[in-house]
Amino acid sequence: MKWWTLALQLLKDVVGTGLAAWLLIRQGLSTTPNVGLELTALSLMAPAAISNVATLLLSGPSGRAPGHGESSPPAEGSSSSPSPSPPAGAHDAAP
């Protein structure tokens, strides 16, 4: 990744989101909040939020990004998993 794309990502994720959070907190604590500043803060948070939501949606049900980790889940009957124990009291019951 080139340095300028890293700098742009840093601006979007850290500086923009931090400034937006600061603006929202200031406007929330203000006795007369400015709607224009609140909308500006929300628009500063939008790019980072959109990229995070896209990452979550594209990662699939396992929570991992595609292409990372194992290619297939482990088999159900693998020998490494312990066998299930009988329920408690199963030995006590007599016919």
Average pLDDT in the 5-29 region? 89
Give start and end residues of each alpha helix (H) in 15-91.
17-29, 35-58
- pLDDT score for 15: 86
How far is Cα 27 from Cα 38, in angstroms, rounded to an integer?
Answer: 7
Whole-number average pLDDT of the chain? 77
pLDDT tens, residue by residue, 21-45: 999 999 999 999 999 999 999 998 8
pTM for this one?
0.52
Total count of residues recorded for the chain: 95
Is residue 56 scored above 60 in pLDDT? yes
Residue 11 sits at the vertex; the CA angle it makes with 17 and 29, to the nearest 5 degrees, is 25
Q: Which position has the higher pLDDT, 42 or 89?
A: 42
